[in-house]
C-alpha cells in the first residue's frame, strides 16, 4: 500500500469539535495506510480572512513578507491542535510547518510557487510510524523566508506532497460531497460529478470554482496524481479528478462557474495606431497585473476604446497605470466598473459541438441579463455580466445545459453507452 495524503480544509477544521472529528477520520484511515499517512490542514474556519482583515486595518498595502509571516500562523494553530487530538486517541503524530516539511518555494511573497519538496524529514517520521501533520498553504524560500501559496493554497500543498511522496491518491476533504456541476451553495439543482478530467477541473478552478486551488490541479496533472474530493462530514464517495479520454465524456458542458472578484477598466478614445496596446498592457505586465479579457471597439474618428478586466484586488493599481498611459497617448479618459463578474461554462465535449456559445447567450438573454464582454477557448466560454446578476446567470445557464442527476436526458445518454 502506498502512502496516503489527506487534506482537511478550513471548514472541516472550524472548531474544536470539528478538529476532533477530523482526528477520528484520520485514525480510521491510519489502519488502511501501513506505509504512512500524511495529513495537510488549513487554518481554522475563517481565520485567514480575519488575519487579512486585521492587517488591512493597520496598513492599506501591507508588506508582502510580513503578510506571509502573519497568515502562516493560521495553519500552525491547526497542525498543533490536530496532533493533540490524535495523541488523545492514542496515535503517534507529529506536526510540521511548511519549512520543516521541506516545502521550498520561489522567492515571491503571497503567491509563491513550490519549486521543490525535500521529503527526507517527513519520510523519517513515517518510518517511525508517525502520522505526519503538515501546515498547508506555506513554504519557505531557499534563504529561509516564510512564503504562502495564494488563497486556497493548502490544496496545492497536499497534491504537491502526494506527487513528491508518490502517493496513489490525494484525498481532499471539504464541506461538500465532491465537485458539482456548479457551486451547490448557489444553485441547489447542481449535482455531484463521479469524475472529472484534469483539463476541465483546471479550467473550472481558474474560472472561480474554489473547491480546488488551480495550482493543485496543475500539480495533479503534472505528476498524474489522482485527486479524490469528498466530504469531511460523511463517508460518501466523492469526485475523482483524473486523466480521462475524450471518448469517455458524453456531455458538451461539464460545469458552470463564476468569479465575482473581477473589475473592468476602459480607456476611451485612444489614438488608433500601432504600439498602443503594447504600451498599455506592457505597463500593466511590468507591475505583474494579470489582465483577463480584452475588448477593442471599432475605430471611430481615428480613435478606439479598449476595455479589459483584472482581479478586483489589482484595480487601484491598474487604474493608476492606465491613467498614466492614457495621458501619454492623449486618450480622452479612463473609466472603471467594479460591479462586474465573470460567468463561465466548461466542457471538453464542447469541441466539435457547434452552437454552445449561442445557447449560452440565449439563456442569458432569456433572463434579460446583459453580456458586457465575451471570451472563448476550446473548452470554455466566459461572459462578463453585472455582479448583481451573476447568481441568476449561473442558475439559468446551469439549468439550460446541465440537467439534474437522473433526469430523462441523462438517462438517455447512459442508454447509448
Ligand atoms: P475548504 O475550506 O475545504 O478548502 P473551500 O471553501 O475552499 O473549502 O471550497 C469548498 C466550497 O467550494 C464549497 O463550499 C462550495 O461553495 C464551493 N464550490 C464552488 N464551485 C463548486 C463546485 N463546482 N463543486 C463543489 N463546490 C464548489
Ligand atoms: N488558509 C488559507 C486560506 O484561507 C489556505 C487554505 O485554506 O487553503 O486561503
Ligand atoms: Mg479551499
Q: What's the grid cell of residue 162?
A: 502526494
- Quick check: 167 pLDDT over 90? yes
pLDDT tens digits for range 16-36: 999 999 999 999 999 888 889
Which domains does the chain carry? 4-248 (3.40.1160.10), 256-401 (3.30.2130.10)
Ligand (nearest to CA of 190): 1
Please name the residue that has the C-alpha cell 489502519: 31
**Band of the pLDDT at 113, cuts 50, 70, 90?**
very high
Q: Is 20 exposed, middle or buried (0-12, 13-18, 19+ CB in 10 A)?
A: middle
**Band of the pLDDT at 403, cuts 50, 70, 90?**
low
Query: From the CB of 158, is ligand 2 less than 6 Å away?
Result: no
Query: From the CB of 255, is ligand 2 less than 6 Å away?
Result: no
- Whole-model pTM? 0.92
- In whole angstroms, give the CA distance from residue 359 to residue 401: 9
CA of 215 to the centre of ligand 2 (A): 13
Mutate to test the pocket of ligand 1, among 44, 211, 233, 343 (most ligand atoms within 8 A of CB): 211
Of the candidates 152, 155, 76, 62, the residue with the CA atom closest to the CA atom of residue 109: 62
CA of 354 to the centre of ligand 2 (A): 39
Q: What's the pLDDT at 41?
A: 98
Total residues found in the chain within this entry: 417
Query: From the CB of 72, is ligand 2 less than 6 Å away?
Result: no
pLDDT tens digits for range 193-243: 999 999 999 999 999 999 999 999 999 999 999 999 999 999 999 999 999
CA of 239 to the centre of ligand 3 (A): 15
Q: Which one-letter DSSP state was computed for residue 285? A: H
Query: From the CB of 36, is ligand 2 less than 6 Å away?
Result: no
User: Mean pLDDT throughout 36-42?
Assistant: 97
Q: Which one-letter DSSP state was computed for residue 177? A: S
Ligand (nearest to CA of 11): 1
Ligand (nearest to CA of 44): 2
pLDDT tens digits for range 318-362: 999 999 999 998 888 999 999 999 999 999 988 878 899 999 999
CA of 356 to the centre of ligand 1 (A): 26
**Band of the pLDDT at 416, cuts 50, 70, 90?**
very low
- Quick check: 411 pLDDT over 50? no
Q: C-alpha 215: how far from its chain's center? A: 7
Which element (helix H / strand E) includes 229?
Answer: strand 226-231
CA of 210 to the centre of ligand 1 (A): 5
Residues of the chain with pLDDT > 90: what percent?
A: 83
pLDDT tens digits for range 247-256: 566 788 999 9
- What are the start-end ranges of the H helices in 243-389? 276-286, 315-329, 356-366
**Band of the pLDDT at 283, cuts 50, 70, 90?**
very high
Q: Is 173 exposed, middle or buried (0-12, 13-18, 19+ CB in 10 A)?
A: buried
Please name the residue that has the C-alpha cell 488575519: 51
**Band of the pLDDT at 245, cuts 50, 70, 90?**
confident
Amino acid at each position: 500500500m502506498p502512502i496516503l495524503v489527506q487534506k482537511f480544509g478550513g471548514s472541516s477544521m472550524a472548531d474544536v469539535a470539528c478538529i476532533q472529528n477530523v482526528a477520528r477520520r484520520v485514525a480510521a484511515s491510519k489502519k488502511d495506510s501501513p506505509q504512512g499517512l500524511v495529513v495537510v490542514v488549513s487554518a481554522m474556519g475563517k481565520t485567514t480572512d480575519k488575519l487579512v482583515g486585521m492587517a488591512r486595518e493597520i496598513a492599506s498595502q501591507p508588506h508582502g513578507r510580513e503578510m506571509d509571516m502573519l497568515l502562516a500562523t493560521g495553519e500552525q494553530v491547526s497542525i498543533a491542535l490536530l496532533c493533540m487530538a490524535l495523541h488523545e486517541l492514542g496515535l503517534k503524530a507529529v506536526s510540521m510547518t511548511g519549512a520543516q516539511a521541506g516545502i521550498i518555494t520561489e522567492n515571491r511573497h503571497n503567491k509563491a510557487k513550490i519549486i521543490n519538496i525535500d521529503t527526507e524529514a517527513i519520510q523519517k517520521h513515517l518510518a517511525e510510524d508517525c502520522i505526519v501533520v503538515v501546515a498547508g498553504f506555506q513554504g519557505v524560500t531557499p534563504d529561509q523566508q516564510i512564503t504562502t501559496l495564494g488563497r486556497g493554497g493548502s490544496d496545492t500543498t497536499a497534491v504537491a506532497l502526494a506527487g513528491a511522496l508518490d502517493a496513489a491518491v490525494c484525498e481532499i476533504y471539504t464541506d461538500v460531497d465532491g465537485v458539482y456541476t456548479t457551486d451547490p451553495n448557489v444553485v441547489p439543482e447542481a449535482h455531484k460529478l463521479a469524475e472529472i478530467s484534469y483539463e476541465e477541473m483546471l479550467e473550472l478552478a481558474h474560472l472561480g470554482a474554489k473547491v480546488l486551488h488551480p495550482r493543485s490541479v496543475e500539480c495533479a496533472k503534472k505528476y498524474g496524481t489522482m485527486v479524490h474530493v469528498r466530504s469531511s462530514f460523511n463517508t460518501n464517495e466523492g469526485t475523482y479528478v483524473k486523466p480521462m479520454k475524450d471518448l469517455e465524456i458524453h456531455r458538451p458542458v461539464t460545469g458552470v462557474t463564476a468569479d465575482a472578484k473581477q473589475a473592468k477598466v476602459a480607456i476611451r478614445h485612444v489614438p488608433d495606431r500601432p504600439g498602443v496596446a503594447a504600451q498599455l498592457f506592457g505597463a500593466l505586465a511590468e507591475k505583474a497585473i494579470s489582465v483577463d479579457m480584452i475588448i477593442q471597439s471599432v475605430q471611430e474618428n481615428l480613435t478606439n476604446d479598449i476595455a479589459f478586466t483584472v482581479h478586483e484586488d489589482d484595480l487601484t493599481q491598474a487604474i493608476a497605470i492606465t491613467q498614466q498611459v492614457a495621458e501619454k497617448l492623449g486618450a480622452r479618459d479612463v473609466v472603471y466598473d467594479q460591479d462586474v463578474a465573470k460567468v463561465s461554462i466548461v466542457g471538453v465535449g464542447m469541441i466539435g459541438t457547434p452552437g454552445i456559445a449561442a445557447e449560452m447567450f440565449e439563456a442569458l438573454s432569456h433572463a434579460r441579463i446583459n453580456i458586457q464582454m465575451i471570451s472563448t477557448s476550446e473548452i470554455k466560454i466566459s461572459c462578463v455580466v453585472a455582479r448583481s446578476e451573476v447568481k441568476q446567470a449561473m442558475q439559468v445557464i446551469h439549468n439550460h445545459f446541465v440537467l439534474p442527476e437522473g433526469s430523462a436526458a441523462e438517462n438517455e445518454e447512459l442508454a447509448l453507452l
